[in-house]
Amino acid sequence: MKRNLLSLYLLIATIVFPLDHMSATIHLNYVPAKTRFSKFTDKDFTISGLITNEDGEAIFGAAIVIKGDEGKGTFSELDGSYTLKLPNAEQTLIIRYLGYQSLEIEVNGRSQIDIVLYSDLQTLDEVIVVGFGTQKKRFTTGAISKVNGEDLQNATQTTVEGALQGRVAGVQVTTSDAMAGSPVTIRIRGTSSIVASSEPLYVVDGVPVVSGNFSKNNASSWRLATAHESNALSQLNPADIESIEILKDASAAAIYGSRGANGVVLITTKGGRKGKTRFNVGYQSGFSKETNRIEMLNGSQWLELAKEAWTNSYNDAITDNDPSNDATYDISNDYQKFWNEILPEGLSREVAEMTNTDWIDETLQDGFFQEMNLSTSGGNEKTLFYIGGTYRDEKGIFVGNNFKRYNARVNLDHHPTEYLSIGARTAFTVTDSDIIPISWAGGLGTAQSQALPFWPIFNEDGTYFNAQSGNNVAAELANTEMNQKGTSILGNVYAQLKFLKNFTLRSEFGINNIYKKEFYYRSAVIEPEAISTSVLSESQNWNMNNTLSYSNSFGRHSIDIVGGMNATKNDYFQNVINGETFPNPALKNPENAAIQTASVNTTQFSFLSFLGRLNYRFDDKYLLGVSVRRDGSSRFGSGNRWGTFPAVSLGWIISEENFLKDAKVLSFLKLRASYGETGNAEIGNFEYFGAFVTNNYVDRPGIVVQEIDNNSLSWESTKQYDVGVDIGLWGGRVEAGVDVYLKQTDDLLTQVDVSSLSGVERVTSNIGSLENKGFDLSITTHNTRGKLKWVSNINLAYNTNQITDLGGLDFIPGQLFGLGAIGLGQPVGARYTVPWAGIASSDISLIVSDPDDPSLQNEIQVKGGDELFINQFGELTNIYNPNDQVFIGNPTPLWSGGFTNSFSYKNFDLSVLITFATGHDLSNDERRFQYAPFGFGWTMMANGMERWQNQGDLTDMHRVTWAAPNRNYTSSRVITDADFARLKDLTIGYSFPKSLLQKWKLHDFRIYAKGTNLATLTSYNGWDPEYNRDGAGNVGQSKSWLPSPQARSISFGINIGL
C-alpha cells in the first residue's frame, strides 16, 4: 500500500512538476521585468514602477511599504503606477494586495521596478462550514472536504450528489441507473453497517433532510412495482448551491452524534452579495445514450442453441442409460416435442424461425434534456437576497422515462441593526416523473431475460403477441403507466443576536416536507383485469437548532465555544388504494374499480440532542477541538434511548514555527490527529417495540404479532481515529492533504434470526463489529499560470472493509435470493458461493474425496464442456455441492478517486474529470439463468455462441444442455472484475472578452459544450461497471440483477450574467 502511494505520488510529480518547478523558481527568485541600474547614493532615493497582475492588468490600490518601517509607504494609482521615496537604495519593499500573494523585493539600488502580483492560491483562509458554525480552513482539526458550488454548476446530472462523483477523496459516489432522478449511493470511507443505512446524513442550511428512497410502493401486484427507488434528494437544485462540505472523520461528524457515523454532507445554498443587483440566465440542452449495450442471442442463434441443448440432453440420456429422459428429449418426428415445448400458444414454427426481435431495442431510446436557470442576487448594507429558479425537462434513455423538475428558491438575510440578523432559506420543488419498470420488474430487465428473440412483437392481426405473459416488453411498456408527482418544501428561518461583544445567540427553525402522489396502472391488455394503484404520501420533517456561541482572544489565546440543542421530528404518512377490474378502459383510477383495497401507513421518529464544542488555539499554531453531543432517539426503548458521542482533535501548524517560518518551498504544514465516537440509528422507527398489527379475518377485526419486545436494541457506535497532514508548497501552488484513518463500528445493527416458535422470524439486534481502514489523499497543483492556467487535482482513496466480529458466529446465512450471507473476516457483501474452475475441454475422469467421508475417494466422469468447480478439499470436480461454498470477491473498491485537469487560455477553458475505481467485483447474479436459459425460457448473452461443442474445444462457455445439471446455482463464474476508469466529464467553454461585454452591457457571457461518461476503460463485460443494486442494502449492493447501463450525454449551454 505504501509503495503504491509513493509511486502514485511520484507519477504525479513527474507529470506535473518539470515545467512547473522552473516557473516557481523564477517566481521565487524574483527578477523584475525591467531593471535599470543606477549609481545614485543620495540619501533620498526615489523608486517608481507599475504594478500589474499576471494577466497584465493594472492593479489599483496595492500597498507598497518599506520592510521594517511599515508606517511608510504608498498605494498604486489607477493605472498601476507608484512612486515611493526611500531613505536609501538598500531597502526591501513589501507589496500587498487583497487576494494576491504578498511580495518582498530587495531594491538593490534600482530606481524603477515593475512588479507582477500573482493571485493568492492558498485556500487556507477560506471559510469552512462545520456543523453549527464555521471555521477557517487553516485552523480546522477534522477531516473536512469542501466542494465549491462552481464545480457543480451546469452538471448534466440531475442530482447534487451525483455531481460530487470523483471530486472528493474518500467519498465514493455510485448512481444506481440511468433513470432520471435515480438514487445515488454515497459511501464516505466505506460501508459501516450491515443492515442499517450507510448513507451519510445530509444537512441543507442547517436542516437535516429526508434522503434515500421515498417511494414505498405497497401495490397489490408485484407487477406494479418498479424495482426502482426514488431519490428524495433529487429535490435539490445544483444551481443553487454555494458549497458542499463533507465531514469525514469523527471529530468533525461527532457534533451530529448518533446520526454522524456515515459522515455528514453539509450543503449551503447561495446568498446575496452587496452591490449591484445581478441577473444570471443559463440554458443547457443535451442528448444522451446508453454507455454500453450488451449483445443477446438473436432469434436463429437462440433456436440453434436450444436445439443443440435438446439434442445434447437426448444424447446424455442415452449415454446415462436413462430411458425416461430419453423419452423426455424425444428427437424423433423432426423434434416435434421440442417445438411443443418452446412455442407459446399462437406462434407457429415457421413464424418463430423467421422472427428476430431485439427486445433491448424496444426499451432504449435516445434521451434528451434541457434545463433553464434564472437567478438574481444582490443587496445592500441591510439586506441581501438570492432568488433562483430552474426548470429541467428530461427524456431518459429508457423508453417511457420522463422527468420534469421546477425549482424555486428565495434566500434572504436582513440586518436591522449591527447586532441582529434574521433571514430565511426557502426552496420549493415540484417534480413530475414517468418511471418504467426495470430489473426484475420488467422493461430492460425482461428484455435480457425472459423475452425470447424468436417471439414477434405483434400477432398477425396487429394485437400484441403473448401479451399477458408479462414478457412481451413492448406490450408491457405500452400498457403500463407509472407516474410520480412530488412537491417538496425545504426551508429554514433564523434569527441571530450578538451581545456583550463576544456572544452570539442563534435560533433556527426549518422544515422539509415532501408530498408525493404516485399512480400505477396496468391495462387489461397485459393483465386478466386492469389494475391500478394510487399512492399519496407525505413526509413532514421539522428541525430546530438553538445555539449560543462565544468567541474571544486573549493575547495569544483564542477560544470559540458553541453550545446548544437540536430537535428533529419526522412524521410519515402514506395512503395506498388498489383497484382492480374497471368498467371501461378509459377509467383507470382505483375509484372506478370493482374491487378496491386501501391501506394506510404512518410512522414517526424524533431526535433530541444537546451539544457543545470548544475550539482553542494558542499562538495560531496549536489547535485543540473538543466536542460532545448527547442524543436521544425515539427509535430505541427508554432504557437505551440516550447516548453520548464525544470527540477530541489536535492540530499543530508546524509551518508557523520559527524553524519553518522562512522556508521558501514549504508555505504551510499542519499536522492533525483526532478521535471521536459517532452513532448510526438508521433503522426502522419502532423496531424495539413489541407490537401487534391489524390483520383481519374477513370483516372481523383481528391482530397478529408483528414484532416481539426488543428492549435491548440500541445504535451502532463507530469509533474513528484519524491522523492527517495538510501541506502547502510555494505559496499554495501545491496543496495536499492526506488522512489515514481507522473506523471501528461496534454493536452492528443486524437482523438476527429467531426461532419461529416466538411467533416472528427475525429481530433487529446489536451484534458484531466491523472496521474500515484506509487513507484518502487530495493534491491540487497550479501547474502553470499567466496566460495559460492549468490546475490539476487528484483525489484518491484506499479503503478496506472487514467484519471483525459476528457475535461469536463466523457466518450468518443470507435470506433474499441468497444475497445476504455475511462472514467473519470478510467485507460486507462478499459473495458466498462455490468456486468455479472453467470448462472441461474434453472427457476426463477425476478422483475426488467423498464429502460424507473424506477418507474415501470416488472416481467421477467429466464430460467435455462440463462446468468445473473446486470442492472443499481443493479438488477439481464437476459436482456442484453447496457445502463447497466460500466467500469470493470484494464488493467495494479498494482504490477509488478522481483526476481533474482544468485549463484556461485567454477566453477559453477546458476541464476534464476522470474517475476511477479498482479492486472490486460485481456478482452478476442474473447470469446463472443466462448461462443455462433453455429449461427456464430465458435468453442468453451472445457469447453463448462460443459454447463447447467438440472434444478439445477451449472455451469459457459450457456445452449447452436442456436441463443443465447445476443450473439452479450461482458459482463464482458470475463474479467479474469491475475495475474502471471513466472520462466522467469534459467541458469546453468560451467566455466573451470584457471589451465585448462592455459593449453589450453584460457582466458575463459564456458558452460551453460538455460531455459526460464519454469513454470508459474497463474489462467488465456487462452493461456498465458502475452499478449499484437499487434497494438491496449494504449486503446486496454489488450483486447485480438484470442491470442497466448508465447514460452518456453531450450537451451545450450558455450562461449570461447582467
Partner 1 sequence: MANIKYILAFNIILLLSSCSDFLNLEPETSLSSAVAFDNIEGIEAGINGAYSIIHSDWVERQYIFAECLMSSVKQVNALSNSNYTQALTHENWSDLFNISGYFWQMSYRTIDVSNQIIQAIPNINADNDKTAADKARLEGEAYFLRGLMYFGLNRFFAQPQNGLSVPILTTPYQPDQFPFRASIEETKAQVIADLEQAESLMQNIESNDGRATIWSVRGMLARAYFEFKDYQKAQEYANLVIESGRFALKDGQVGSAYSTDISSENIFTFLSAANDRAANNLYERFSINNANVQLSLSADFWNQINQEPTDLRIDELHTDLGGGVACHKYDVRNMNIPFLRLPEMYLIRAESKAENNDLDGGLVDLNRLRQRVGLSATDYVNQSDLLEKIFHNRTVEMSMEGQNFHNLKRLEQPIGGYPWEEARFKLVFFIPLKEIQLNPNLIQNEIW
Q: Which is nearer to partner 1, 497 or 1007 (CB)?
A: 497
From the CB of 708, what's the least distance to partner 1, in Å?
7
Q: Which is nearer to partner 1, 134 or 596 (CB)?
A: 596
Sign of torsion over alpha carbons 109, 110, 115, 118? negative
Q: Which is nearer to partner 1, 122 or 706 (CB)?
A: 706
From the CB of 1038, what's the least distance to partner 1, in Å?
24
From the CB of 641, what's the least distance to partner 1, in Å?
6
101 CB-near residues (< 8 Å, 6+ apart) = 117, 118, 119, 120, 121, 122, 731, 732
Q: Which is nearer to partner 1, 464 or 790 (CB)?
A: 464
Question: Closest Cα to residue 466, out of 367, 368, 347?
Answer: 347
Q: DSSP string of 973-1000?
A: GGEEE--EEEEEEEEEEEE--HHHHHHH
From the CB of 832, what's the least distance to partner 1, in Å?
13
Q: Which is nearer to partner 1, 836 or 880 (CB)?
A: 880
C-alpha cell at 676: 471521536
Q: Quick check: 266 and 134 in contact, CB under 8 A?
A: no
Q: Which is nearer to partner 1, 714 or 987 (CB)?
A: 714
Tell me how many degrees the CA angle 503-504-505 measures, rounded to the nearest 5: 125
Residue ranges that bind partner 1, judged by CB under 8 A: 416-417, 419-420, 422, 468, 495, 497, 505, 507, 509, 528, 544, 546, 565, 567, 569, 595-597, 600-608, 632-634, 638, 641, 685-686, 689-706, 708-709, 753-761, 882, 937
Q: Which is nearer to partner 1, 321 or 756 (CB)?
A: 756
From the CB of 119, what's the least distance to partner 1, in Å?
41
Q: Which is nearer to partner 1, 262 or 578 (CB)?
A: 578
From the CB of 815, what's the least distance to partner 1, in Å?
10
Q: Which is nearer to partner 1, 445 or 632 (CB)?
A: 632
H/E stretch holding 293? none
| Dihedral pair phi/psi, residue 942, rounded to 5° | -60, -20
Q: Which is nearer to partner 1, 158 or 504 (CB)?
A: 504
From the CB of 861, what's the least distance to partner 1, in Å?
21
Kindly list the strands in the beta sheet with 975-977, ordered across the sheet, starting from the edge strand earlier in the chain.
975-977, 921-924, 1039-1040
From the CB of 541, what's the least distance to partner 1, in Å?
14
Q: Quick check: 984 and 998 in contact, CB under 8 A?
A: no
827 residue type, one letter: P
From the CB of 486, what's the least distance to partner 1, in Å?
24
Say which residue the cell 487560455 belongs to: 905
CB atoms within 10 A of CB 148: 14
Report how far residue 1041's alpha carbon sits from residue 970's, in angstroms, rounded to the nearest whole number: 12
Which contacts qualify for 657-661: CB closer than 8 Å, 24 or more apart?
657/621
N residues, the chain? 1058
Tell me how many degrees the CA angle 294-295-297 measures, rounded to the nearest 5: 145
Report how far residue 234's alpha carbon sits from residue 562's, in angstroms, rounded to the nearest whole number: 32
From the CB of 650, what's the least distance to partner 1, in Å?
32
Report how far residue 326's alpha carbon sits from residue 324's, in angstroms, rounded to the nearest whole number: 5
Q: Which is nearer to partner 1, 468 or 1019 (CB)?
A: 468
Report how far residue 295's alpha carbon sits from residue 471's, in angstroms, rounded to the nearest whole number: 18
From the CB of 965, what's the least distance to partner 1, in Å?
12
Q: Which is nearer to partner 1, 528 or 583 (CB)?
A: 528
C-alpha cell at 104: 518582498
C-alpha cell at 89: 537604495
The burial class, CB within 10 Å (0-12 / 13-18 / 19+), for 296 is buried
Q: Quick check: 839 and 943 in contact, CB under 8 A?
A: no
Q: Which is nearer to partner 1, 212 or 690 (CB)?
A: 690
Tell me how many degrees the CA angle 814-818-822 measures, rounded to the nearest 5: 40
From the CB of 419, what's the least distance to partner 1, in Å?
8
From the CB of 938, what's the least distance to partner 1, in Å?
12
Report how far residue 849's alpha carbon sits from residue 863's, in angstroms, rounded to the nearest whole number: 19
SS3 of residue 428 by DSSP: strand
